[in-house]
Structure 1
């Protein structure tokens, strides 16, 4: 029954998250908000809504370990699995020249900032404000940088989920489905995950780092697989970098305002460093233009399997 709850929660989160993005994007464009701003804010928040709701629900349910494990585990999975699995299907030709260096440096800055706050022992409302302030600064920087280059201007049709012909009633249905489905799905996933952890005799944090993290990373995996098939290395790499940055600054920023998140010794001594090492594995692709070949795909996927086994052992 617990596994069914987890599966149902994941399905609800994926579909409700997609519905919320479509509804919110089209409502924002209807209200006259520029497409560029919609892409940087509404789409970014909407696509991370499953992780956000899971983390907030976990804290409200007294399981902050799942909230922290969800984000850290998702960032590890985003690099090792979300890039590794598509590379097993087809090579990601990063050597085509993807301009992701600036975003990568911002992601590394967010990672170092989060780790510094984590070593205080508890992520409280003060940490949340610092993380959200950093997110706001990065969004402002991205908006200004995009306006300076024609490539940064985004038409409505190019925004994820945008449909200029969508009727008002349909927008309302999408919004309602997202707003109802996300909290229900998050509650099912967290409740089921906590029960599984108790039944298997492992920590809630370990479940958050593995089962919950993989589940909430499924949308990013689907997006990256499609980008790999279409040979869009920029999209694949940008998806991973943007998701990791928003996970640390946005999701943990909001979650820290909901309630304190204690950071255990295992996190400080192992998991945070694995996350940092996984992030640094992007250097050959971002700076040296290396292709993400099948060999890299095997190596990255194997590293994640080894990490997952070590967490659950």
Structure 2
């Protein structure tokens, strides 16, 4: 039963999160907010809503391992799985304007997360630092985008992915209400069932967060990545993954730790953080050399993802947290 409830919870998160994004984009369009602002704020935050809701719910339930594991696992999944699997079908070009800067920033915030976790606690102050960095990141990207527009350079808008946002008030209201009500319910259901599964399997809560929950909450990014690959929109595919990783650390860990300080289990500092950092750094040469992620690279990435999941369950998180 917990497995079915987890699937139901994840499905609720994905569906209601998608409706919330579409409703918010529709409302923003009705209010005359520029597409760039919508892309950098509404869509970016909205697509991270499942991870945010699960992390907040897990922290409130006294399960910081699940909360942090969801974010770290999602970041690993976004690179190895969300980028790797679509690359098996179509090459993902890495020559987009600003991609070097964003990828380097992703590596930086990954290192920062490790540094802030060295005392095994992510405090209110740590969260505030992350939120300030997020605000700076958004402002900087907004300024750069406007500068490029003035020069006549084409910019691929994130909002282009939202191709069926509602335009009438009634539908917008329904979408927003479903999203606002459904996300917390889905988050609660996902958290409770994930904790039950961890007990049944005899593994740490973080193991479920790093794997099953992380994969489930990354489904919107995966769907967007596959759709972008099919349409040969490399900028959307890789920008979606890199941007989500930045938002996961800065917004989700930032917001959650400002509400409830997070205890960082030693497993993260010994293993998972370094896997996240290693694959982030591994993306740098591809981006800075303007290479493409082709079938060979995609196969390696997908294989590493499977190997990582194996280690999560058999080595890194095979015992319940608190008993180490």
Normalization by structure 2: what TM-score? 0.91
Q: Identify the residue that residue 241 of structure 1 maps to in structure 2.
A: 242
Report the secondary structure of 1:282's partner residue. helix
What residue in structure 2 maps to residue 287 of structure 1? 288
**Contact 1:43–1:160, Cα closer than 8 Å, also in 2:** no
Question: CA–CA distance in 1 between the matches of 2:248 and 2:111?
Answer: 13
- The corresponding residue for 2:231 is 230
Deviation at 1:292, TM superposition (A): 1.3
Residues 95-120 of structure 1, C-alpha deviation per residue, up to 9 Å, x if partnerless?
xx222111112212211211111112
C-alpha distance after superposition, 1:261-306 (max 9, x if no partner): 1111111111111000010121232111222121111111111111
In the alignment, is the contact (CA less than 8 A) between 1:145 and 1:152 conserved in 2? Answer: no
Q: Is the 8 A contact 1:75 1:275 kept in 2?
A: yes
Q: What's the counterpart of residue 199 of structure 1?
A: 200
Measured after TM superposition, the shift of residue 124 of structure 1 is 1.4
Distance in 2 (alpha carbons) for counterparts of 1:14 and 1:181:
10
Q: Tell me how far apart the structure 2 counterparts of residues 297 and 64 of structure 1 sit (CA, whole Å).
A: 32
Structure-to-structure mapping, 1:1-313, within 5 angstroms = 1-94=1-94, 97-99=95-97, 100-150=99-149, 151=153, 158-161=159-162, 166-313=167-314
CA distance in 2, matches of 1:307, 1:217: 16
Shift of 1:164: 7.8
After superposition, what is the alpha-carbon deviation per residue over 1:143-184, rounded to whole angstroms, capped at 9, x for unaligned?
A: 1001101147788x9544366871101100000010111111
Does the aligned pair in 1 maintain the 2:6–2:190 contact within 8 Å? yes
Partner SS for 1:115: helix
Cα displacement string for residues 9-36 of structure 1 (whole angstroms, at most 9, x for unaligned residues): 1111111011000111121232233222
SS, match of residue 292 in structure 2: coil
Asked if structure 1 preserves the Cα contact closer than 8 Å seen for 2:51 and 2:217, the reply is yes
Matches of 2:156 and 2:292 in 1, distance apart? 28
Which stretches in structure 2 are left out of the alignment for 5+ residues? 315-324
226-235 vs 161-170, which moves further: 161-170
Give the deviation of 1:77 after TM superposition: 0.8
Secondary structure class of the residue paired with 2:33? coil
Distance in 2, Cα, partners of 1:234 & 1:159:
12
**Aligned residues of 1:123 and 1:260 also touching (Cα < 8 A):** yes
**What's the RMSD between the two structures over aligned residues?**
1.7
Name whichever of 22-31 and 250-259 sits farther off.
Answer: 22-31
> How many residues of Structure 1 are paired with residues of Structure 2 in the alignment?
310
Alignment-derived partner of residue 317 in structure 2 = none
Partner of 2:321: none
Which structure 1 segments of 5+ residues have no match? none
